[in-house]
């Protein structure tokens, strides 16, 4: 009996050792996505900013690969985030307009990204990752669209499109609204939540979100699981609100909006530095892929700078949807690399799936590409295939399309423009008259892309909905009509 017990104990010890070794030897990387809100192309040091200091982000960027031609799928927050997490252009999923207010029980059937669309978080969760969403959601507030229902084990943040930053201030206004019997309290004032329950927050929101990301990293480490943390800061989105100690660092900036904006970006940088410290302390740093980017271009009316790009948030000029971005992964990616070929935020989904050594179902469509091999080799994963953007306005659409070194743009219902975007990043010299065949071919390809678009599930305003109901939208045939292709050919 003694010998039997000793043998049994030995087998148990060996089994435990093998299990622990298996966990320790999981070669799959952790994935940390750091998403800023309305961050300008020129508002981080690694992209050339002179007045906003981002030392922590710069260390990571220069220690990895900086993408100089990274695009999101839409120049506005909600549709862009929908594309990131579904891997699909929002026009294919009915999510091409911003959700303008948290939805209620009455309209929960369509006021959120369709539940038929599997989020990348769900794929990673099923592959054994600890999954966490921190910060801004903006993808549906009704229960069935909640982050915990979309593949996130943990959620801490807010469900709407924006929020005030100082709890001691917004709590007071919120309570006043409640006491007054207001049933439609602005999203920006609502309490934060943790997995569906109100959270008693006391810190400046950017700091709170950094804190929660750190907590999730420690939780995953303790549970010996790889993690996927989707850290969606609302900074530097309006309202422009910054901590006094951060503002002091930018006293040399005279413009008030720019100074506050800079301090908000610095708070993100400071938080990322704390997160990196935690990654090192938990021995997760070397095998963590950190992806940093913005959800769309900077809002130049509120402190942002997209230089040298033309345009602002909401545009299909480069400044609307070309964003700062880098990959940092010490175990795999060499430092001091620049990747000049175009890439899309849509590429994150298939890239992460491959890194997690899992797969999607046969009926799940993805519009991006697994770009990791191309990033490591310095080769173009798109090979002159197009990356698109289209924004619905009132009665017409703005459109952009990138193919290799070339870009087509149609803005504000004006005629099409063609630009060699590698030589003319500011879209100043319209070459449509000089290369009409190239323009026509790229516009034709873009029109084909719209053939499977679906009608939006919601609209940003009542007026937008009226345009669709009475046939004044989408009017693709007018957007892409031949007579709009070239104007003043002899003057380009």
Compute the CA torsion angle 65, 70, 75, 81 (nearest 10 deg): -50
Phi and psi of 400, rounded to 5°? -140, 145
Tokens of 225: 């699981």
**Is 77 marked active-site?**
yes
Compute the CA torsion angle 60, 65, 69, 72 (nearest 10 deg): -60
Given 77, 146, 237, 302, the catalytic residue? 77
Given 91, 138, 146, 237, the catalytic residue? 138
Tokens of 371: 């770009």
**Is 138 marked active-site?**
yes
What is the rounded CA–CA span in Å between residue 70 and residue 326? 9
Phi and psi of 451, rounded to 5°? -60, -35
Catalytic residues: 77, 138
């Amino acid at each position: 009996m003694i010998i039997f017990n000793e043998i049994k104990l030995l087998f148990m010890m060996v089994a435990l050792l093998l299990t622990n070794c298996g966990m320790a030897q999981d070669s799959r990387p952790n994935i940390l996505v750091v998403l800023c809100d309305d961050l300008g192309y020129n508002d981080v040091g690694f992209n050339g900013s002179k007045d906003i200091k981002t030392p922590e982000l710069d260390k990571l960027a220069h220690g990895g690969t900086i993408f100089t031609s990274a695009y999101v799928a839409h120049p506005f927050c909600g549709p862009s985030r929908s594309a990131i997490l579904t891997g699909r252009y929002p026009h294919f999923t009915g999510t091409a307009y911003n959700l303008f207010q948290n939805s209620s029980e009455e309209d929960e059937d369509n006021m959120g990204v369709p539940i038929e669309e599997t989020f990348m978080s769900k794929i990673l969760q099923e592959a054994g990752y600890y999954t966490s969403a921190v910060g801004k959601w903006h993808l549906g507030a009704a229960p069935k669209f909640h982050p915990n229902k979309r593949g996130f084990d943990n959620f801490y943040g807010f469900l709407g499109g924006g929020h005030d930053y100082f709890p001691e201030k917004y709590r007071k206004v919120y309570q006043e609204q409640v006491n007054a019997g207001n049933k439609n309290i602005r999203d920006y004032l609502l309490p934060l939540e943790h997995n569906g329950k109100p959270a008693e927050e006391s810190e400046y929101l950017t700091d709170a979100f950094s804190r929660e990301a750190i907590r999730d990293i420690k939780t995953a480490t303790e549970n010996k699981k790889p993690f996927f943390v989707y850290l969606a800061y609302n900074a530097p989105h309006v309202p422009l609100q910054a901590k006094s100690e951060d503002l002091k660092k930018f006293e040399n900036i005279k413009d008030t909006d720019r100074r506050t904006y800079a301090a908000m970006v610095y708070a993100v940088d400071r938080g990322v530095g704390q997160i990196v410290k935690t990654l090192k302390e938990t021995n997760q740093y070397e095998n963590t892929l950190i992806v940093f980017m913005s959800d769309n271009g900077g809002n130049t009316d509120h402190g942002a700078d997209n230089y040298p790009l033309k345009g602002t948030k909401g545009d299909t000029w480069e400044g609307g949807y070309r964003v700062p971005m880098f990959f940092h992964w010490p175990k795999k990616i060499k430092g001091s690399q620049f990747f000049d070929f175009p890439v899309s935020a849509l590429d994150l989904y298939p890239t992460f799936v491959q890194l997690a050594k899992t797969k999607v179902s046969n009926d799940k469509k993805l519009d991006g590409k697994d770009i990791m091999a191309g990033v490591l080799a310095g080769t173009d994963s798109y090979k002159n295939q197009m990356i698109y953007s289209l924004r619905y306005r009132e009665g017409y659409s703005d459109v952009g399309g990138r193919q290799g070194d070339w870009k087509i743009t149609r803005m504000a219902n004006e005629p099409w423009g063609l630009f060699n975007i590698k030589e003319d990043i500011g879209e100043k010299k319209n070459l449509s008259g000089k290369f009409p065949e190239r323009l026509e071919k790229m516009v034709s390809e873009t029109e084909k892309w719209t053939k499977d678009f679906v009608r939006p599930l919601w609209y940003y305003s009542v007026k937008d909905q009226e345009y669709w109901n009475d046939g004044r939208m989408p009017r693709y045939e007018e957007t892409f009509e031949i007579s709009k292709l070239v104007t003043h050919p002899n003057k380009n």
